[in-house]
Structure 1
């Protein structure tokens, strides 16, 4: 882990995960689960489901409350672990863990509001009810870029709805999977409940495929690429299961001629550079009205040149490394494709000659019709393009296969209401005067088209984790 060795030893020891030799650069060794391990875990989880779904929902909420409190006591150390293992800067790592804590708080309130309906019956002296019941087991497959927050969006809601959870974390972030599981298991055991209510596996595609094919798991929530998500969906649907997909994003920010330029520039910087461009909500396309195009581009180039790149655990760092050497290779290949399709590099465009997977934050001037613009390059690469009218900007925004997040910067109410209406953005998340990245847990998070159509976290997303009995 290079220069992270001593730091890693200190906070992994606090989590009970530390190596015996603090001078060793190998900070942990993790054995991945086999199919035999998976089968043993699923049997235990299925037995635990019979107990968990019988517990009243408010009492299930109390267990989730305790999980949130346990996470609070380890917030700083878990946040550092996320930053170390994934590569995002420390404020983002801590913020990710805080998001699970917030989801726990939200789920506690929800546990007393899983309301059904009383519906007028057409038959005399009859009553018709709608009752919501648990599914049983919910499978959650998460990606490296948010190694624990996405788990929280799903698991907190699934648990209060009366479901057990089977989680497969990303194979490149096993330590956060283990740490989270230890914390949840301790809460369950303290309350004399089976630890298998929350069952997790460190593993690769073999375990993910087993979850997708397992008839004991009525709902599978998958976060990852559209390509893999489609395979998961096909396997789940073959057995008539339900799928909740959170897939690729190709998010655009539109800056109108009346926009607050300084606000827009700050927002674009954080949306495009944060997490080294490895968020599903990263701003990848910047659409600028022709009258403000050069002003915005010039200001962005200046702030890009000032981005502090380095150790994600150090204060003041804005851009940490890409997650793996393969991520860096994909960045290099992506830049070559961009140039071949007429893209002009305005700033950045190269890897940084140092230890680690560091690359330059990059701005590319390119035509919106270029094929590469339609694809998601998972790195800090921002495409800038020019438009003349609002309708043209909306058409460009909607022209890609993905439909996760979108944003417009304007002061005009008539533009805002068109943007959020049926003839505006076709994305699941539609923002005004804020960037594309991030979301509030009270709302339903998810997107349309090749983003999968799933919804997680707030609003009425909880209904996906239950079955309706009329």
Structure 2
């Protein structure tokens, strides 16, 4: 291993976590067997209690009971809780961002950006509370009014992942609350402190606006806690973020009880770079998308499909940029790449590199482990591999900073290569040719839920619906009309006449 920037000790980080929690008003519960580990050193910041089956059942029961009153509160009044949550997030942005860095390993700028995303979605949800529109439909019967209305759905279960430990929760919770739902949240067991902090802030927001804090429940633990949410008929909607494998287990079980699922699963995202592309802009976008968050975003760029005529110049630029990336303490100024979440992520990356090499791939740069804090933490230099074909390993998602580069000659082939994976989350094209851009966005272009032009695959704004197709699960969260997933639709017919005409002209009796 090579050595680079030094970092604080686990004791220093433990103190920093305690200060952040104190600032957020969150008191640690009694010590338990659930470790809050930091990937910065691999050490333990605290231990928490697992939620046993009775505690999970009690949380669902409480959320279900509170829902019966919460659903009758007018939506603009429900929004007061979310508005206050947004204000508290502005006030405590630095402290919550510290916890995100401590538990997920994100550099400071990305951690603060994630909390800003929470603030943004709170603002969106407050505005949405006055726009939960139905519609009026022309009736074929005289003296009748036909319309659609939307009503609160029930208890929403949220299962979130480590890589966005607070933003994805906020996407779901802010929208669910203004829609009149209550929430039971099971965060990743690797980020329990950030969850405790968010839970504390939301319950404070509820109390300060005069509402029952039981609108939000927190349960901590592993897969067994998740299964209890999956199988409980009182969970009207289960929003789950994680691997495709997890989704294949969750979806049939929820469907078996006729519940609803909102799945955000894996992504194997690609960008096409055409001969007309602005290579300076492309390089900056590619590096951020592929190396940011140490490649641990669902929207991370994993495949680069470059026209053969410009592959050389672009790879030279990428090589220079990658060699300048500073790997180390995510709290340190100038560091752009923090740690992988754990040793399993590191081993997965190394195994993928070896498989790619066996497929005649050439490792252009990176891939080596960096000795920052000893054997219990896992820092790695982002890697670029030149591949001669889109082999099996390229078609799989490796959750690490690993970028495969392939070339093409024909634009139709580039799109075919782009779509030839099972995932369908995010995609990009870099071009100044309008025809190429429009073709990429056309029905026979990118098959992903997110398709960008001259911008990377990561960094979505909250105003648009977030999600993907195929093995990505089909769910949509955050902006646009994603709110409809959290409500139930009713078709209403009102007869204000003195007659009783039947639809389709049927005469009965």
- TM-score (norm. length: structure 2): 0.89
Contact 2:14 2:46 in 1 (8 A): no
Aligned partner (choices 312, 315, 327) of residue 297 of structure 1 = 315
Which aligned runs of 4 or more in structure 1 are off by greater than 6 angstroms? none
- Extract unaligned runs of 5+ from structure 1: none
Larger relative contact order (Cα-Cα within 8 Å, sequence gap ≥ 6): 2
Paired residues for 1:70-469 under 5 Å:
70-355=88-373, 356-469=377-490
Query: Deviation of residue 7 (structure 1)?
Result: 3.4
For residue 158 of structure 2, give the secondary structure of its aligned residue in structure 1. Answer: strand
Once residues 75 and 216 of structure 1 are traced to their aligned partners in structure 2, the CA distance between those partners, rounded to angstroms, is 34
Q: Between Structure 1 and Structure 2, how many residues are aligned?
A: 466
Does structure 1 retain, via aligned residues, the 8 Å contact 2:80–2:209?
no
Asked whether the equivalents of residues 328 and 372 of structure 2 are also in contact (C-alpha less than 8 Å), the reply is no
Deviations 1:57-115 (A, max 9, x none): 01011221011111111101101110111001111111101101100000001000101
CA distance in 1, matches of 2:452, 2:389: 21
Query: What is the alpha-carbon distance in structure 2 between the residues aligned to residue 152 and residue 113 of structure 1?
Result: 19
Give per-residue Cα distances to partners, 1:300-324, cap 9 Å, x unaligned.
0111111011000111110000011
State the match for 2:35 in structure 1: none
Distance 2:301 2:389 in 1: 15
SS of equivalent residue, structure 1 residue 352: strand
Q: 1:18 to 1:296 in 2, by over 3 A?
A: farther
1:8 partnered with 2:17:
yes
Cα distance in 2, alignment partners of residues 105 and 367 from structure 1: 47
Distance 2:331 2:456 in 1: 24
Structure 1 distance, partners of 2:454, 2:266, is 23
Cα distance in 2, alignment partners of residues 84 and 223 from structure 1: 21
Contact 1:49 1:163 survives alignment (8 Å): yes
Give the alignment's TM-score, normalised by structure 1.
0.97
How far residue 11 of structure 1 moved from its aligned partner, in angstroms, is 2.7
Quick one: distance in 2 between partners of 1:180 and 1:311? 24
Please tell me whether the aligned partners of residues 368 and 396 of structure 1 are also in contact (alpha carbons under 8 angstroms).
no
Once the two structures are superposed, residues 239-283 of structure 1 have per-residue CA deviations (whole angstroms, 9 ceiling, x without a partner) of 111111110000011110010000001110000000000000000
Residues 274 and 415 (structure 1), Cα distance of their counterparts in 2 relative to 1, 3 Å cut: same
What corresponds to 1:56 in structure 2?
A: 74
**Maintained 8 Å contact 2:25/2:200:** no
The CA RMSD measured in Å over matched residues stands at 1.4
SS at match of 2:437: helix
Distance 1:119 1:220 in 2: 31
Cα distance in structure 2, aligned partners of 1:266 and 1:128: 53
Shift of 1:129: 1.4
Residues in 1 aligned to 2:359 and 2:220: alpha-carbon distance in whole angstroms: 40
Distance change >3 Å, CA 144–CA 459, structure 1 → 2? same
* Structure number with larger C-alpha Rg: 2
Kept in 2, the 8 Å contact 1:17–1:28? The answer is: no
Cα distance, 1:367 vs structure 2: 2.9
Q: Which moved more, 1:190-199 or 1:111-120?
A: 190-199
Unaligned runs of 5+ in 2: 1-8, 31-42, 492-509
Distance in structure 1 (CA, Å) of the matches to 2:124 and 2:118: 10
Equivalent residues of 1:18, 1:27 under 8 A apart: no
CA distance in 2, matches of 1:365, 1:332: 16
